[in-house]
Amino acid sequence: MPKPQRREFLLGAAGLSAVPFLGDTATVQGGDVSFQNNVPDPAVSGKELPTFKYALEKSTGKVMRSSYGKEATVTQLPISKGIAGVSMKIEPGGMREMHWHATAAEWAFVISGRVRTTVIDPEGSAETNDFEPGDIWYFPRGHGHMLQCLGNEPCHFILIFDNGYFSEFGTFSVTDWIGHAPKELLAKNFGLPEAAFESFPKDEVYFAFGPVPPEPAKPPLQGLKPPPLTHKYRLLAQPPHRTFEGGREWRVDSSSFPISKTITGVVLDLDAGALRELHWHPTADEWQYVISGSVSVTMFGSHGRYRVESLEAGDVGYVPQGYGHSIENTGPGPARILIGFNTGIYQNIDLSQWIAGNPADVLATNFSQPAALFEKFPKKDVFLTDRDGPNG
């Protein structure tokens, strides 16, 4: 078995560039890239923790007519090296044109309106799906797809990518490709005269506009050839994964949505004053988008470093893998947060769970406190609590 090639890379939308940087290293084998977090990341290795907040919806992004895409990558939020996100709104009759992503898989959550997608995989299987609010999709890296607004109301959805260096505006678009390929090559490729391509767009369209799509969807040119795994999951149509005194949690990873091998999604509803307790994720970074309400997010980064950020609707938060954090609803009403993780299997360790997993004498020695004090602590994982706490 050949020894894995070990190099450092800067990841970009168009692929891997051999530009060294002081950050994670990558092992490359068989075309796959895996990261080892064994080099201090300058973004989080200073004496103070950097900001982990970005006002996504207040940014300008790319606007065409009344459709837009706004992104949060390491360019806008340098700490977010493991995950990038996009807020996209498409007007009726609008389409995010046919494209693919060379360096990232795409996970999406529909906030409002209805969306149609088509996707093709390397085996030639194709799937068309219609989505409503609360639904999600997942497209593996490199799979060709398009996104289209359905009906007479605009649609709004959040895209999550498993690579913070990915840029939504650096994707591989079909109009950009065909517009720059020689016409004689296109004619030979498709068996058509060169003149057939004279009126095709000469540059990337990005958003295409036409009539409102038909319902139901028409079959593909090749006929129906469905993939073995669906790209659609109805997250909020399911009962909550867990319900607490202070809120609810919906969760989907590859155990319930098998195609989603690199991204896990959570929708967290927090009642006023509720707290998603202090915890960390051993195997993934956490990307947060506040759908509604306002929250306080804390982050602990070792060596006495601690930072608090206030997030409102439309803001993004980011917590690197292994960093302790919490989310508290600080507004007068309920809050809803969309959370993405760059892993196919969800894992977390809660502080209450860790405390409860140790004997009282160990805790007494660790904290120099009477053992009797720890008998008053929760005897099980809290995860989420209301404004009065787990003993309220």
Active site residues: 96, 99, 101, 106, 145, 168
Interatomic CA distance for residues 49 and 45, integer angstroms: 8
Residues 6 or more apart whose CB falls under 8 angstroms from that of 377 comprise: 352, 355, 356, 363
Number of helices (H), then strands (E), in the chain: 5, 31
Q: Give φ, ψ of 161 to 5 degrees.
A: -120, 140
Q: 3-class SS at 310?
A: strand
Q: Are 363 and 355 in contact, with CB atoms under 8 Å apart?
A: yes
Angle at the Cα of 123 from the Cα atoms of 258 and 32, rounded to 5 degrees = 65
Residues 6 or more apart whose CB falls under 8 angstroms from that of 116 comprise: 128, 129, 130, 131, 147, 148, 149, 150, 213, 217
Q: Are 23 and 39 in contact, with CB atoms under 8 Å apart?
A: yes
The one-letter code for the residue type at 312 is: E
Q: Give φ, ψ of 87 to 5 degrees.
A: -100, 125
